[in-house]
Amino acid sequence: MNGTEDAASAEARLWAASGAMSLTGRAGGPPRPAPGLPAATVAEELARLSRSARRRTGRAPTLPDVRLLSERAAIAGLGRRGPLSCSGTFRTLPTLDGRIGLSLARDSDLDMVPALVMTDEITDPWEAVSAWARGTSTSDAADRMELLGLPGTAVPRHEPPPGDRDPVELTPGGTRPHVRERPLIIDFTALWAGPLCAHLLGLTGAEVVKVESSTRLDGARHGPRAFFDLLHGGHRSVVIDQNDPASRDALLRLVRSADLVLESSRPRALASWGLHADELVADGVSWLSISARGRGSQRVGFGDDVSVGAGLYLLDRDDVLPCGDALADPLTGVVASRAAAEALEQERAVLVDVSMHDVCRHVAAAGADDRHRLRVTMDRSGRWRLDTGEDIVEVAPPQARRPAAPAAAAGAHTQEVLR
Protein backbone atom coordinates (compact mmCIF):
# COMPACT_ATOMS: atom_id res chain seq x y z
CA MET A 1 0.00 0.00 0.00
CA ASN A 2 1.41 3.41 -0.95
CA GLY A 3 1.14 6.81 0.70
CA THR A 4 -1.66 7.95 -1.58
CA GLU A 5 -3.80 4.98 -0.58
CA ASP A 6 -3.01 5.60 3.09
CA ALA A 7 -4.10 9.25 2.76
CA ALA A 8 -7.27 8.28 0.92
CA SER A 9 -8.19 5.68 3.55
CA ALA A 10 -7.48 8.13 6.37
CA GLU A 11 -9.65 10.76 4.68
CA ALA A 12 -12.46 8.25 4.20
CA ARG A 13 -12.43 7.32 7.89
CA LEU A 14 -12.34 10.95 9.01
CA TRP A 15 -15.08 11.98 6.57
CA ALA A 16 -17.30 9.14 7.81
CA ALA A 17 -16.66 10.11 11.44
CA SER A 18 -17.22 13.84 10.89
CA GLY A 19 -20.95 13.65 10.25
CA ALA A 20 -20.43 15.50 6.95
CA MET A 21 -20.58 12.27 4.94
CA SER A 22 -24.05 11.70 6.36
CA LEU A 23 -24.97 15.08 4.86
CA THR A 24 -23.65 14.25 1.38
CA GLY A 25 -25.77 12.52 -1.25
CA ARG A 26 -29.32 12.31 -2.44
CA ALA A 27 -32.25 12.59 -0.10
CA GLY A 28 -33.19 9.00 0.67
CA GLY A 29 -30.03 7.62 -0.92
CA PRO A 30 -26.77 6.46 0.64
CA PRO A 31 -24.26 8.89 2.14
CA ARG A 32 -21.34 9.62 -0.15
CA PRO A 33 -17.57 10.21 0.07
CA ALA A 34 -16.32 13.63 -1.03
CA PRO A 35 -13.53 14.57 -3.43
CA GLY A 36 -10.22 15.83 -2.10
CA LEU A 37 -9.27 15.84 1.57
CA PRO A 38 -11.79 18.02 3.44
CA ALA A 39 -11.83 16.09 6.73
CA ALA A 40 -8.08 15.45 6.74
CA THR A 41 -7.51 19.16 6.12
CA VAL A 42 -9.62 20.05 9.14
CA ALA A 43 -7.73 17.56 11.31
CA GLU A 44 -4.33 18.88 10.18
CA GLU A 45 -5.29 22.54 10.57
CA LEU A 46 -6.64 21.92 14.09
CA ALA A 47 -3.38 20.17 14.98
CA ARG A 48 -1.39 23.16 13.72
CA LEU A 49 -3.66 25.51 15.67
CA SER A 50 -3.05 23.49 18.82
CA ARG A 51 0.72 23.58 18.34
CA SER A 52 0.67 27.33 17.77
CA ALA A 53 -1.42 27.94 20.89
CA ARG A 54 0.90 25.77 22.94
CA ARG A 55 3.91 27.76 21.79
CA ARG A 56 2.16 30.99 22.84
CA THR A 57 0.73 29.86 26.17
CA GLY A 58 2.69 26.78 27.19
CA ARG A 59 -0.56 24.82 27.38
CA ALA A 60 -2.39 22.56 24.95
CA PRO A 61 -5.91 23.88 24.29
CA THR A 62 -9.02 21.73 24.27
CA LEU A 63 -10.27 21.89 20.69
CA PRO A 64 -13.06 20.15 18.77
CA ASP A 65 -12.33 17.57 16.09
CA VAL A 66 -13.59 16.90 12.56
CA ARG A 67 -17.15 16.64 13.83
CA LEU A 68 -17.31 20.44 13.77
CA LEU A 69 -18.06 20.01 10.05
CA SER A 70 -21.58 18.84 10.91
CA GLU A 71 -22.40 20.90 14.00
CA ARG A 72 -24.76 23.35 12.34
CA ALA A 73 -26.71 20.55 10.69
CA ALA A 74 -26.89 18.61 13.95
CA ILE A 75 -28.33 21.59 15.79
CA ALA A 76 -30.69 22.65 12.99
CA GLY A 77 -31.85 19.11 12.26
CA LEU A 78 -30.64 19.14 8.65
CA GLY A 79 -29.93 16.10 6.48
CA ARG A 80 -28.72 15.36 2.98
CA ARG A 81 -31.04 16.70 0.29
CA GLY A 82 -29.05 16.36 -2.93
CA PRO A 83 -29.24 17.86 -5.46
CA LEU A 84 -30.29 20.69 -3.11
CA SER A 85 -28.08 21.87 -0.27
CA CYS A 86 -28.90 20.65 3.24
CA SER A 87 -30.57 23.99 3.98
CA GLY A 88 -32.47 23.95 0.68
CA THR A 89 -31.33 27.48 -0.21
CA PHE A 90 -28.69 26.47 -2.79
CA ARG A 91 -29.10 24.54 -6.02
CA THR A 92 -27.41 24.17 -9.39
CA LEU A 93 -29.10 24.87 -12.71
CA PRO A 94 -28.26 23.93 -16.31
CA THR A 95 -27.19 26.68 -18.71
CA LEU A 96 -26.68 26.66 -22.47
CA ASP A 97 -23.22 25.13 -22.06
CA GLY A 98 -22.82 23.94 -18.47
CA ARG A 99 -24.18 24.69 -15.00
CA ILE A 100 -24.34 27.49 -12.48
CA GLY A 101 -24.93 27.37 -8.74
CA LEU A 102 -26.92 29.97 -6.82
CA SER A 103 -27.85 30.57 -3.20
CA LEU A 104 -31.10 32.38 -2.42
CA ALA A 105 -30.77 32.42 1.36
CA ARG A 106 -31.54 36.06 2.14
CA ASP A 107 -34.57 38.20 1.43
CA SER A 108 -32.22 40.56 -0.40
CA ASP A 109 -31.19 37.71 -2.73
CA LEU A 110 -34.81 36.92 -3.55
CA ASP A 111 -35.43 40.61 -4.15
CA MET A 112 -32.72 40.60 -6.84
CA VAL A 113 -34.23 37.75 -8.86
CA PRO A 114 -36.27 40.07 -11.14
CA ALA A 115 -33.10 42.00 -11.98
CA LEU A 116 -31.22 38.75 -12.58
CA VAL A 117 -33.75 37.29 -15.00
CA MET A 118 -34.77 40.70 -16.40
CA THR A 119 -38.50 40.43 -15.82
CA ASP A 120 -40.91 41.37 -13.05
CA GLU A 121 -43.39 38.64 -13.98
CA ILE A 122 -42.29 36.04 -11.45
CA THR A 123 -44.45 33.60 -9.53
CA ASP A 124 -41.72 31.19 -8.38
CA PRO A 125 -38.16 32.55 -8.08
CA TRP A 126 -36.44 29.22 -8.74
CA GLU A 127 -38.57 28.52 -11.79
CA ALA A 128 -37.73 31.97 -13.12
CA VAL A 129 -34.00 31.55 -12.55
CA SER A 130 -34.05 28.07 -14.07
CA ALA A 131 -35.76 29.29 -17.24
CA TRP A 132 -33.33 32.21 -17.55
CA ALA A 133 -30.27 30.00 -17.00
CA ARG A 134 -31.32 27.54 -19.71
CA GLY A 135 -31.09 30.33 -22.29
CA THR A 136 -27.84 31.86 -21.00
CA SER A 137 -24.20 30.82 -21.28
CA THR A 138 -22.43 29.85 -18.07
CA SER A 139 -19.96 32.74 -18.29
CA ASP A 140 -22.68 35.32 -18.95
CA ALA A 141 -24.79 33.97 -16.10
CA ALA A 142 -21.83 34.04 -13.70
CA ASP A 143 -20.97 37.59 -14.74
CA ARG A 144 -24.52 38.79 -14.17
CA MET A 145 -24.73 37.17 -10.73
CA GLU A 146 -21.46 38.88 -9.80
CA LEU A 147 -22.68 42.24 -11.14
CA LEU A 148 -25.80 42.03 -8.98
CA GLY A 149 -23.93 40.90 -5.86
CA LEU A 150 -25.62 37.50 -5.76
CA PRO A 151 -23.90 34.48 -4.16
CA GLY A 152 -23.54 32.40 -7.30
CA THR A 153 -20.90 30.58 -9.30
CA ALA A 154 -20.09 28.75 -12.48
CA VAL A 155 -19.81 25.03 -11.73
CA PRO A 156 -16.46 23.63 -12.91
CA ARG A 157 -16.88 20.65 -15.20
CA HIS A 158 -14.76 17.78 -13.91
CA GLU A 159 -12.03 19.04 -11.60
CA PRO A 160 -11.16 22.01 -9.40
CA PRO A 161 -10.81 25.18 -11.46
CA PRO A 162 -7.35 26.66 -11.99
CA GLY A 163 -6.24 29.45 -9.68
CA ASP A 164 -3.32 31.79 -9.25
CA ARG A 165 -3.40 32.49 -5.52
CA ASP A 166 -2.91 30.61 -2.28
CA PRO A 167 -5.75 30.05 0.19
CA VAL A 168 -4.00 32.33 2.70
CA GLU A 169 -1.87 35.28 1.64
CA LEU A 170 0.21 37.27 4.13
CA THR A 171 1.38 40.89 3.94
CA PRO A 172 3.73 41.97 6.75
CA GLY A 173 3.17 45.24 8.59
CA GLY A 174 4.58 47.23 11.46
CA THR A 175 6.01 46.09 14.77
CA ARG A 176 3.39 45.04 17.30
CA PRO A 177 3.49 46.95 20.61
CA HIS A 178 3.09 43.70 22.54
CA VAL A 179 2.84 39.93 22.04
CA ARG A 180 0.43 38.75 24.71
CA GLU A 181 -0.33 35.30 26.02
CA ARG A 182 -4.01 36.30 26.02
CA PRO A 183 -4.41 38.41 22.89
CA LEU A 184 -7.36 40.74 22.36
CA ILE A 185 -9.37 39.94 19.23
CA ILE A 186 -12.01 42.24 17.77
CA ASP A 187 -14.48 40.15 15.80
CA PHE A 188 -16.52 41.92 13.12
CA THR A 189 -17.48 38.67 11.37
CA ALA A 190 -20.91 37.10 10.94
CA LEU A 191 -22.65 33.82 10.13
CA TRP A 192 -20.26 30.81 10.30
CA ALA A 193 -16.71 30.91 8.92
CA GLY A 194 -15.55 34.02 10.77
CA PRO A 195 -17.33 33.26 14.05
CA LEU A 196 -15.89 29.72 13.97
CA CYS A 197 -12.43 31.26 13.60
CA ALA A 198 -13.10 33.55 16.57
CA HIS A 199 -14.52 30.66 18.61
CA LEU A 200 -11.46 28.48 18.04
CA LEU A 201 -9.13 31.34 18.93
CA GLY A 202 -11.14 31.87 22.09
CA LEU A 203 -10.58 28.22 22.99
CA THR A 204 -6.83 28.86 22.74
CA GLY A 205 -7.10 31.55 25.42
CA ALA A 206 -7.74 34.70 23.39
CA GLU A 207 -10.13 37.39 24.62
CA VAL A 208 -12.81 37.94 21.97
CA VAL A 209 -15.04 41.01 21.61
CA LYS A 210 -17.81 40.69 19.02
CA VAL A 211 -18.75 43.98 17.35
CA GLU A 212 -21.96 44.49 15.38
CA SER A 213 -23.70 47.44 13.76
CA SER A 214 -26.90 48.65 15.41
CA THR A 215 -28.52 48.62 11.96
CA ARG A 216 -27.29 45.16 10.95
CA LEU A 217 -26.81 42.55 13.63
CA ASP A 218 -25.27 39.18 12.78
CA GLY A 219 -27.87 37.28 10.75
CA ALA A 220 -26.98 34.11 12.67
CA ARG A 221 -28.82 35.60 15.67
CA HIS A 222 -32.00 34.68 13.79
CA GLY A 223 -30.90 31.06 13.31
CA PRO A 224 -30.73 28.20 15.82
CA ARG A 225 -29.87 29.69 19.22
CA ALA A 226 -27.72 26.74 20.28
CA PHE A 227 -25.46 27.20 17.25
CA PHE A 228 -25.03 30.91 17.95
CA ASP A 229 -24.29 30.10 21.60
CA LEU A 230 -21.74 27.48 20.56
CA LEU A 231 -19.73 29.96 18.48
CA HIS A 232 -20.12 33.05 20.67
CA GLY A 233 -20.44 31.82 24.25
CA GLY A 234 -17.90 33.54 26.49
CA HIS A 235 -17.31 36.46 24.10
CA ARG A 236 -18.21 40.04 24.98
CA SER A 237 -20.71 41.85 22.75
CA VAL A 238 -20.53 45.44 21.54
CA VAL A 239 -23.08 47.16 19.30
CA ILE A 240 -22.03 50.35 17.50
CA ASP A 241 -24.06 53.17 16.01
CA GLN A 242 -21.81 53.82 13.04
CA ASN A 243 -23.46 57.21 12.43
CA ASP A 244 -22.38 58.46 15.85
CA PRO A 245 -18.90 60.09 15.73
CA ALA A 246 -18.24 59.43 19.43
CA SER A 247 -19.02 55.74 19.02
CA ARG A 248 -16.77 55.49 15.96
CA ASP A 249 -13.93 57.19 17.84
CA ALA A 250 -14.32 54.81 20.79
CA LEU A 251 -14.34 51.86 18.41
CA LEU A 252 -11.15 53.04 16.72
CA ARG A 253 -9.44 53.28 20.12
CA LEU A 254 -10.58 49.74 20.92
CA VAL A 255 -9.30 48.41 17.60
CA ARG A 256 -5.94 50.14 18.03
CA SER A 257 -5.54 48.40 21.40
CA ALA A 258 -6.22 44.98 19.87
CA ASP A 259 -3.84 42.28 18.73
CA LEU A 260 -6.01 41.10 15.85
CA VAL A 261 -9.09 42.21 13.93
CA LEU A 262 -11.33 39.67 12.18
CA GLU A 263 -13.60 40.71 9.31
CA SER A 264 -15.76 38.78 6.86
CA SER A 265 -17.31 41.64 4.91
CA ARG A 266 -15.95 43.35 1.85
CA PRO A 267 -13.17 45.85 2.75
CA ARG A 268 -15.28 48.90 1.95
CA ALA A 269 -17.75 48.01 4.72
CA LEU A 270 -15.38 48.64 7.62
CA ALA A 271 -13.64 51.44 5.72
CA SER A 272 -16.95 53.30 5.96
CA TRP A 273 -16.52 53.07 9.74
CA GLY A 274 -13.09 54.70 9.48
CA LEU A 275 -11.28 51.37 9.88
CA HIS A 276 -8.63 50.81 7.20
CA ALA A 277 -6.80 47.50 7.34
CA ASP A 278 -3.61 48.70 5.62
CA GLU A 279 -3.19 51.61 8.03
CA LEU A 280 -3.84 49.53 11.13
CA VAL A 281 -1.49 46.74 10.05
CA ALA A 282 1.22 49.31 9.36
CA ASP A 283 0.69 50.57 12.92
CA GLY A 284 1.08 47.10 14.46
CA VAL A 285 -2.46 45.64 14.61
CA SER A 286 -2.86 42.36 12.74
CA TRP A 287 -5.94 41.98 10.54
CA LEU A 288 -7.50 38.81 9.14
CA SER A 289 -9.99 39.08 6.30
CA ILE A 290 -12.27 36.23 5.18
CA SER A 291 -13.99 36.74 1.84
CA ALA A 292 -15.37 34.67 -1.00
CA ARG A 293 -12.39 35.19 -3.30
CA GLY A 294 -9.92 37.43 -1.49
CA ARG A 295 -9.77 41.11 -0.63
CA GLY A 296 -9.19 42.14 -4.23
CA SER A 297 -12.51 40.68 -5.38
CA GLN A 298 -16.02 42.04 -4.95
CA ARG A 299 -17.58 38.57 -5.31
CA VAL A 300 -19.87 37.41 -2.53
CA GLY A 301 -20.50 33.82 -1.59
CA PHE A 302 -21.93 31.44 0.99
CA GLY A 303 -20.69 28.04 2.05
CA ASP A 304 -22.47 25.90 -0.52
CA ASP A 305 -22.02 28.01 -3.65
CA VAL A 306 -18.36 28.66 -2.83
CA SER A 307 -17.52 25.00 -2.21
CA VAL A 308 -19.32 23.78 -5.34
CA GLY A 309 -17.68 26.51 -7.43
CA ALA A 310 -14.30 25.29 -6.20
CA GLY A 311 -14.93 21.67 -7.19
CA LEU A 312 -16.17 20.19 -3.90
CA TYR A 313 -19.19 18.39 -5.31
CA LEU A 314 -20.28 15.02 -6.68
CA LEU A 315 -21.67 14.26 -10.12
CA ASP A 316 -24.58 11.84 -10.01
CA ARG A 317 -26.06 11.20 -13.42
CA ASP A 318 -26.95 14.73 -14.59
CA ASP A 319 -27.08 16.25 -11.12
CA VAL A 320 -24.52 18.08 -9.01
CA LEU A 321 -24.63 17.06 -5.34
CA PRO A 322 -23.13 19.44 -2.75
CA CYS A 323 -20.79 17.95 -0.15
CA GLY A 324 -21.62 18.41 3.51
CA ASP A 325 -23.45 21.43 4.90
CA ALA A 326 -22.12 24.76 3.56
CA LEU A 327 -18.71 23.08 3.52
CA ALA A 328 -16.71 26.20 2.64
CA ASP A 329 -17.67 27.81 5.94
CA PRO A 330 -16.19 25.35 8.45
CA LEU A 331 -13.22 24.59 6.19
CA THR A 332 -12.38 28.28 5.94
CA GLY A 333 -13.04 28.95 9.61
CA VAL A 334 -10.54 26.31 10.68
CA VAL A 335 -7.88 27.38 8.16
CA ALA A 336 -8.35 31.02 9.21
CA SER A 337 -8.01 30.19 12.92
CA ARG A 338 -4.69 28.46 12.31
CA ALA A 339 -3.42 31.36 10.21
CA ALA A 340 -4.54 33.83 12.88
CA ALA A 341 -2.90 31.87 15.69
CA GLU A 342 0.39 31.78 13.83
CA ALA A 343 0.14 35.53 13.15
CA LEU A 344 -0.35 36.13 16.87
CA GLU A 345 3.03 34.52 17.52
CA GLN A 346 4.86 37.07 15.38
CA GLU A 347 6.50 40.31 16.52
CA ARG A 348 5.28 42.13 13.42
CA ALA A 349 1.66 42.66 12.49
CA VAL A 350 0.38 40.95 9.37
CA LEU A 351 -2.55 41.30 6.99
CA VAL A 352 -3.99 37.80 6.54
CA ASP A 353 -6.13 37.47 3.40
CA VAL A 354 -8.17 34.24 3.40
CA SER A 355 -10.07 33.26 0.24
CA MET A 356 -12.89 30.77 0.83
CA HIS A 357 -12.83 29.74 -2.83
CA ASP A 358 -9.13 29.00 -2.79
CA VAL A 359 -9.31 27.13 0.52
CA CYS A 360 -11.88 24.82 -1.08
CA ARG A 361 -10.05 24.63 -4.40
CA HIS A 362 -6.89 23.40 -2.69
CA VAL A 363 -8.87 20.93 -0.58
CA ALA A 364 -10.64 19.57 -3.68
CA ALA A 365 -7.35 19.16 -5.55
CA ALA A 366 -5.55 17.44 -2.67
CA GLY A 367 -4.96 13.69 -2.83
CA ALA A 368 -5.92 11.10 -5.39
CA ASP A 369 -9.61 10.53 -6.07
CA ASP A 370 -10.08 6.95 -4.87
CA ARG A 371 -13.81 7.21 -4.20
CA HIS A 372 -14.48 4.50 -6.78
CA ARG A 373 -12.99 1.87 -4.46
CA LEU A 374 -15.08 2.89 -1.43
CA ARG A 375 -18.28 0.97 -0.76
CA VAL A 376 -21.22 2.18 1.31
CA THR A 377 -23.64 -0.40 2.67
CA MET A 378 -26.42 -0.54 5.25
CA ASP A 379 -26.21 -3.06 8.07
CA ARG A 380 -29.11 -5.00 9.56
CA SER A 381 -29.81 -2.30 12.11
CA GLY A 382 -30.22 0.32 9.38
CA ARG A 383 -26.90 2.08 9.96
CA TRP A 384 -24.71 3.09 7.05
CA ARG A 385 -21.17 1.74 6.92
CA LEU A 386 -18.19 2.61 4.76
CA ASP A 387 -15.73 -0.01 3.50
CA THR A 388 -12.41 1.81 3.01
CA GLY A 389 -10.63 -1.25 1.64
CA GLU A 390 -8.74 -1.56 4.93
CA ASP A 391 -11.60 -1.62 7.41
CA ILE A 392 -15.31 -0.97 7.75
CA VAL A 393 -16.39 2.10 9.71
CA GLU A 394 -19.75 3.51 10.68
CA VAL A 395 -20.97 6.63 8.89
CA ALA A 396 -21.68 8.86 11.87
CA PRO A 397 -24.70 11.16 12.00
CA PRO A 398 -24.19 14.92 12.41
CA GLN A 399 -23.02 15.78 15.91
CA ALA A 400 -22.59 18.98 17.89
CA ARG A 401 -20.91 19.98 21.13
CA ARG A 402 -22.93 21.60 23.88
CA PRO A 403 -22.31 25.34 24.19
CA ALA A 404 -20.03 26.17 27.09
CA ALA A 405 -22.10 29.28 27.87
CA PRO A 406 -24.93 31.30 26.34
CA ALA A 407 -23.92 34.00 23.90
CA ALA A 408 -24.19 37.51 25.29
CA ALA A 409 -27.17 39.62 24.30
CA ALA A 410 -26.41 42.08 21.52
CA GLY A 411 -24.60 45.06 23.01
CA ALA A 412 -24.45 43.65 26.54
CA HIS A 413 -20.90 44.91 27.04
CA THR A 414 -20.90 48.09 24.95
CA GLN A 415 -20.55 50.52 27.84
CA GLU A 416 -18.02 48.35 29.67
CA VAL A 417 -15.77 47.88 26.65
CA LEU A 418 -15.97 51.37 25.12
CA ARG A 419 -15.87 53.47 28.29
Global confidence as pTM = 0.96
Q: Please, what's the largest Cα pairwise distance for the chain?
A: 66
> CA-to-CA distance for 158 and 156, rounded, in angstroms?
6
CA angle 318, 324, 329 (to 5 degrees): 120
For residue 1, what pLDDT is reported?
Answer: 42
Structure confidence at residue 370 as a pLDDT band (50, 70, 90)? low
Structure confidence at residue 159 as a pLDDT band (50, 70, 90)? confident
> What value does the mean pLDDT of the chain take?
94
pLDDT tens, 185-243? 999 999 999 999 999 999 999 999 999 999 999 999 999 999 999 999 999 999 999 88
Q: Are strands 236-240 and 260-263 parallel, antiparallel or unpaired?
A: unpaired
For residue 371, what pLDDT is reported?
Answer: 63
> CA-to-CA distance for 10 and 393, rounded, in angstroms?
11
Stretch 292-302: mean pLDDT: 94
> CA-to-CA distance for 163 and 129, rounded, in angstroms?
28
pLDDT tens, 77-130? 999 999 999 999 999 999 999 999 999 999 999 999 999 999 998 999 999 999
Structure confidence at residue 278 as a pLDDT band (50, 70, 90)? very high
Q: What is the CA radius of gyration of the chain?
A: 21
Helix (H) or strand (E) holding 307: helix 303-309
Which domains, and CATH codes, for the chain? 3-78+162-298+323-418 (3.40.50.10540)
Percent helix, strand, coil in the chain, to 5, is 40, 20, 40
